[in-house]
A and B are shown apart, each in its own frame.
Chain A
Amino acid sequence: MNSQHIFRDFDKAIDALKGEVITMASLARQNLERAMRSLLERDIDLARTVIADDSDVDDLERKIDQAGMDILVRFHPMASDLRLVITSMKMAHNLERISDHAVTIAKRSKKICKSSPLEEASLAEPLYSMADSILRDALTAYTDSNAELGESLKARDKELDQLHKQMISSLSARLEDSNGRAENLLHLIFVARSIERIGDLAVNMGEDAVFLGEARDIRHDHRKPSSQKPTLLG
């Protein structure tokens, strides 16, 4: 919102809440980027850093939930303010799960790094690039209340799902003739699954940005024959 609140403490509280979400998003993305780099560059220390830093993301989730509750109690937000508080708390929840997936990737990476180099690891790179691009736009949709951008992410996630399927079938085919690399290939399949899940979580955030910007609830729209009345929490 460009307009200011008459009660300026409300502006400060809202700005602080948004700031915390943006900080959390940066940390979650950084954790994901480091987890992938540890896999692709075979860097075990980087994987350990990701696992250690996840607690910072967890702390931020708690902090954002508390700040959101404080705003609800103190300022009784209405309309777009109310949607911003609710969306911010949901963003925090999704970001925490994304960071958990980064930890999963880091743990698998550590195991893969302990064996001889796995050339198939590079298959995960384009998958990651696509997921991270969706994630980046989900965050922009939130910060700019850009419903159009938020709504566009679902289609891109379908492309990600397609790429994920191709990668899984390629890895599965190699499993049959893996020459002792089966365990690492399985680790890589789980890495791919985590990246695919990150795409889903980014889509959730895009849907929340649509609610934030236009008060429309587009979740589970594929199951609805027609558009329904917007609801606050569904």
Chain B
Amino acid sequence: MTSAIQIQNVSFAYNTKQVLHDVSMDIPAHQITAFIGPSGCGKSTLLRCFNRINDRIPGARITAGSIKVHDIDINRSDIDLQELRRQIGMVFQKYNPFAKSIYENVAFSLRVAGQNKRATLDEIVENALKSAALWDEVKDRLHASAFGLSGGQQQRLCIARAIANQPEILLMDEPCAALDPLATLKIEELLMELKKKYTIVIVTHNMAQATRCSDKTAFMYLGKLIEFGPTMQLFENPKDPQTEAYVTGTFG
């Protein structure tokens, strides 16, 4: 099994507040890895380290360790952040399409990158929308506003927007938190298809979602990685008592 992201002894702080402590793990390629844990445990912070969007927060920094993609430490000062974020796409909890048409949402980053050839854009947009299982629902209204879509469709549009860049890795921070159960199932079904092409890392508070979709699960608590293993093992027979307490919802 090849790993897509290698995290070695990573510690992270917001100014003086240490929020990740010595986290090490290998994110397997072409699998879905779920991060679970209570609010404030550091799972979203860790996810946001993978494409360095924490850089935008003043005082936020990795204080120790390294995160490597293709054996390159992504925290090197000479990393091209635009290229990094093209390779490592991200989908957020609240779907956030641009105030543009469905077509232009998907084509946007390509245009920014200088691609203006109509035939090429048409092809990439169609493929991205098909990959996001949205094409059949929107093919007759590609130039209508993205805001006219349902919540689940808008989130799938955001996934299409991310994969139009042909990333290797997709980061998803609670992508279904704002969706109804059926829209959630559609996204989950989509994830099972997407993992054939992409490595997916998903932060979720929904443990049933982690059990349904992910191949491996990491349980984090108070900024530490407590347990990381095959999803079924972690939920059926966790090794660490803290994981057991979390997945069973117990205390004392």
Contacts and interface: CB of A to CB of B under 8 A. Distances in A.
Interface of A: 1-7, 10, 76-83, 215, 230, 232
A169 B77 CA distance: 86
A97 to B, nearest CB: 27
Q: What is the interface of chain B mostly: helix, strand, loop, or mixed?
A: helix
A10 B248 CA distance: 10
Given A6-B249, A6-B250, A79-B248, 13 more contacts: A3-B245, A4-B250, A4-B251, A4-B252, A5-B249, A6-B251, A7-B249, A76-B207, A76-B208, A79-B238, A79-B244, A82-B235, A232-B232
Nearest to A75: B249
Nearest to B243: A79
Interface in B219-252: 232, 235-238, 243-245, 247-252
B237 A215 contact: yes
A81 B247 CA distance: 10
Prevailing SS type, chain A contact patch: loop
Contacts, number: 45
Contacts of A77: 248
Contacts of B244: 79-80
A210 to B, nearest CB: 13
B81 to A, nearest CB: 39
Given A3-B245, A76-B208, A82 B236 contact: yes
25 contacts: A2-B252, A3-B250, A3-B251, A3-B252, A4-B250, A4-B251, A4-B252, A6-B251, A10-B249, A76-B207, A78-B235, A78-B247, A78-B248, A79-B235, A79-B236, A79-B237, A79-B238, A79-B247, A80-B248, A81-B248, A82-B235, A215-B236, A230-B237, A232-B232, A232-B236
Nearest to A6: B249
A34 B208 CA distance: 47
A78 B236 contact: yes
Contacts of A4: 250-252
A76 B245 CA distance: 14
| In the A-B complex, the 3 residue pairs with the closest CB atoms | A215-B237, A3-B250, A78-B247
* Most A CB within 10 A of own CB, among B232, B237, B243, B252: B237
From A1, A3, A4, A10, name the one whose CB has the most chain B CB atoms within 10 angstroms: A3
Nearest to B245: A3
A177 B188 CA distance: 74
A7 B250 CA distance: 8
Nearest to B241: A3
Nearest to B236: A232
A76 B249 CA distance: 11
Contacts of A81: 248
B249 to A, nearest CB: 5
B218 to A, nearest CB: 16
Interface string B178-220: 0000000000000000000000000000011000000000000
Contacts of B208: 76
Contacts of A3: 245, 250-252
A78 B237 CA distance: 8
Contacts of A215: 236-237
Counting chain B CB atoms within 10 Å of each CB, the highest count among A4, A10, A80, A230 belongs to A80
